[in-house]
Structure 1
Amino acid sequence: MDKKLQFSGLWAVILGGSSGFGFAAIEKLAKHGMNVAVLYREIAGAEKILKTKFTEIAEENGITILPHNINALDTVSRAAFIQQFADIAEKGSVKLLLHSIARGNLKPLTIENGTVEDEAYNELSIEDIQMTTYAMSNSLLDWTRDLLKAELFNADGRIIGLTSEGAHKYWEGYAAVSIAKASLESLAKYMAVEFAAYGLKTNVIQAGVTETASLKKIPGSDKLIKAGIKRNPLGRITKPEDVAGVIYLLCTDESFWINGAIIHVDGGEHCR
């Protein structure tokens, strides 16, 4: 059997696929015949370039890519997307829901010796934490429920979230994201148990330090990259395609018994 047809007729719904892990996953899954509905937020100029890339990937691999420049965190937008998508995709055809949304506040918990105005702008607020946690964790539950209600999930569907080492140790300015990632790991555990009744397997990938647009926004990201190279037994940091390869593996028939796991994809970086 031609591996490019391995996922023929099946779909991936990728939340946050304009760059980084999400985009790399699209490239990888397309090579194996999986159609993709991708959601992202981009300005007009960047979206034009992105759509050209999607067209090239789709034509090269003989699959369909449906780009949607919408807010995946908005209830109305989510409902509209699922309604439109259900007119295109067959029931039971969504093999993968990949949550790759990188949207959060990168502020410290406190600003020493700052003015009131500085504190209001620069200190992490409870609202910042709530927004970040919904964006990078809890929204996965809403998407899962709505795709289930629309009967779009495959009987052997896969749900994958993305976490980081920053959920377990201190990174400068990373508090809100750390809280969100820790929440995601806990949520995925419960989803693994409670959505198993629908045949869904829920797992989380902990990627190593990866030079993405999201990483560069973190204060001191250059230090994280240097430390990652030094710590990694294989002598380099993680690449998006490294993670995309494991996302593909988690969609295969052979991985059907992996459920509720946090999978390190970092070349052994976490061992040091």
Structure 2
Amino acid sequence: MAYAGRLAIIAGGLGGLGSATGKRLRSQGADLVLLYAPFEASRKDTVLESTFGSSNPDGVSAVECDITSEASVAAAFETISSISKSAGAFPSICINAAGYVSVTPLADTTAEEALKNIIPNLLGPFTVSKAFYHLYTTWKDSLTGGASAPPGRIVSIASQAAHVALDGHGPYCASKAGLIGLTKCMANEWGSAGITANTVSPGVALTELGKKAWSEGPVRDKHLADIPTGRFSEPEEIAGVIELLCGDGMGNVNGADLRVDGGFTIR
């Protein structure tokens, strides 16, 4: 299998696009560490059961982590290093799938509400990706006997909101545009270390939350009418693009953003 002997770290791995990506990578042999926020602890076992068929699935570890806290991320990555050693799996993939969105007219958005979008959507991937860089390069530098490291991959989930102005989404749009800019800097500075960094910008994806938010109504109908393909994306489609960017054959795709929005942002 393509990712046997490798460990994929997924921030926001409990539910939504994070779960879909984890399921896909696991099916290709990757061991997984799913980082989940403290407030998600009560549903951890339920999500693992529904995604992987067990609350304690083989090759999958769930680690509590507040991605907005540097100390929490550092502690989580110490645990990840131990998991990697126990599993004999090289930590070579990092997926930033956690995020937050609120919808408020820009003139009515408080600074506090803006930060609820900006901190997890931008600072979170910055902190997690930096910790991953240090873990990956430490493992790479420790190799002996002519062994070579698998390629390092960082893929962060941005959004169509990074490319267009969406009503009521000012801080969210800004945070996702910032994430693309941050990822370009990662690609520039870390490419020489063997790590590529890219983003995927989905449109509406029919996760459980997506289905609830976009199930019916005039706003849904108008948005669908503005998508050339005439439909929203399935989570598995987004996960497929993320997995593509993790592949060994994508080593010269670096600093790119792949839009999976049915063409919404092309016009």
- Go from structure 1 to structure 2 and tell me whether the alpha carbon gap of 1:231 and 1:124 turns closer, same or farther (over 3 Å shift): closer
Q: Which residue, 54, 67, 91 being the options, matches 1:72?
A: 67
Which amino acid counterpart does residue 12 of structure 1 have in structure 2? A
1:208-223 to structure 2, matched below 5 A, reads 208-212=203-207, 215=210, 223=218
- Show the counterpart of 2:145: none
Which amino acid counterpart does residue 188 of structure 1 have in structure 2? T
Structure 2 regions of 5+ residues with no counterpart? Answer: 141-148
1:156-195 to structure 2, matched below 5 A, reads 156-195=151-190
- Go from structure 1 to structure 2 and tell me whether the alpha carbon gap of 1:234 and 1:141 turns closer, same or farther (over 3 Å shift): same
Kindly tell me the number of residue pairs found equivalent between the two proteins.
254
- Go from structure 1 to structure 2 and tell me whether the alpha carbon gap of 1:215 and 1:169 turns closer, same or farther (over 3 Å shift): farther
- Show the counterpart of 1:237: 232
Which amino acid counterpart does residue 103 of structure 1 have in structure 2? Y
- Show the counterpart of 1:93: 90
Report whether the alignment pairs 1:226 with 2:234.
no
Report whether the alignment pairs 1:264 with 2:235.
no
Q: Which residue, 142, 145, 166 being the options, matches 2:130?
A: 145
Instruction: Report the CA distance between 1:20 and its aligned residue.
Output: 1.5
Counterpart CA distance in 1 for 2:217 and 2:151 is 40
Instruction: Report the CA distance between 1:137 and its aligned residue.
Output: 1.4
Deviations 1:177-211 (A, max 9, x none): 11101111111111111111211111111112223
Structure 1 regions of 5+ residues with no counterpart? Answer: 111-122
Counterpart CA distance in 2 for 1:102 and 1:214 is 13
Instruction: Report the CA distance between 1:170 and its aligned residue.
Output: 2.9
Counterpart CA distance in 2 for 1:217 and 1:178 is 21
Counterpart CA distance in 2 for 1:33 and 1:54 is 16
Report whether the alignment pairs 1:126 with 2:123.
no
Deviations 1:198-243 (A, max 9, x none): 1111111111222335557979995554234323343321111000
Deviations 1:92-120 (A, max 9, x none): 8122111111224433222xxxxxxxxxx
Q: Secondary structure at the match of 1:88?
A: helix
Instruction: Report the CA distance between 1:147 and its aligned residue.
Output: 2.3
CA contact (8 A) 1:228 1:236 kept: no
The farther-off stretch of 241-250 and 171-180 is: 171-180
Instruction: Report the CA distance between 1:59 and its aligned residue.
Output: 8.5
Counterpart CA distance in 2 for 1:263 and 1:18 is 23
Instruction: Report the CA distance between 1:88 and its aligned residue.
Output: 1.8
Report whether the alignment pairs 1:47 with 2:40.
no
Counterpart CA distance in 1 for 2:54 and 2:26 is 7
- Go from structure 1 to structure 2 and tell me whether the alpha carbon gap of 1:75 and 1:214 turns closer, same or farther (over 3 Å shift): farther
Identity %: 25
Which amino acid counterpart does residue 20 of structure 1 have in structure 2? G
Counterpart CA distance in 1 for 2:59 and 2:31 is 5
Deviations 1:9-30 (A, max 9, x none): 1011111122211111011111
- Show the counterpart of 1:31: 27
Counterpart CA distance in 2 for 1:233 and 1:173 is 23
What TM-score comes out, normalization by structure 1 length? 0.81
CA contact (8 A) 1:38 1:68 kept: yes
CA contact (8 A) 1:163 1:206 kept: yes
Superposed CA RMSD in Å reads 2.9
Counterpart CA distance in 2 for 1:217 and 1:175 is 22
What TM-score comes out, normalization by structure 2 length? 0.83
- Go from structure 1 to structure 2 and tell me whether the alpha carbon gap of 1:99 and 1:44 turns closer, same or farther (over 3 Å shift): closer
Deviations 1:30-72 (A, max 9, x none): 1100111001235555223113235527988xx5111123322
